[in-house]
Amino acid sequence: MAYQFSCPRNGCSFELRCDSGQEAARLARAHARVSHRDRIAPADLDRWLERIEAA
């Protein structure tokens, strides 16, 4: 199962896809920390990470 994340901040076009949910979460948190100088709460991350079928 693959995972997808799209940054919810207005004007941010960051998106990622990973085979691992842990890797997707790690990269999403790193994006928030580096690009927005912010953190993602675990509950928000659970809502924003989507499981998708790999093409």
Burial (CB < 10 A; 0-12, 13-18, 19+), residue 32, is: buried
Q: What is the arithmetic mean of pLDDT over 32-46?
A: 96
Rounded Cα distance between 49 and 7, Å, is 10
Query: Do 18 and 24 touch, CB atoms closer than 8 A?
Result: yes
User: Would you kindly state where each structural domain of the chain is located, as residue ranges?
Assistant: 2-52
Pairing mode, strands 50-52 and 15-18: unpaired
pLDDT at position 32, please? 97
Q: What is the arithmetic mean of pLDDT over 31-52?
A: 95
Q: What is the arithmetic mean of pLDDT over 25-49?
A: 96
Rounded Cα distance between 29 and 32, Å, is 5
pTM of the predicted structure, to 2 decimals: 0.88
Percent of all residues in the chain with a pLDDT value above 70, rounded to a whole number: 96
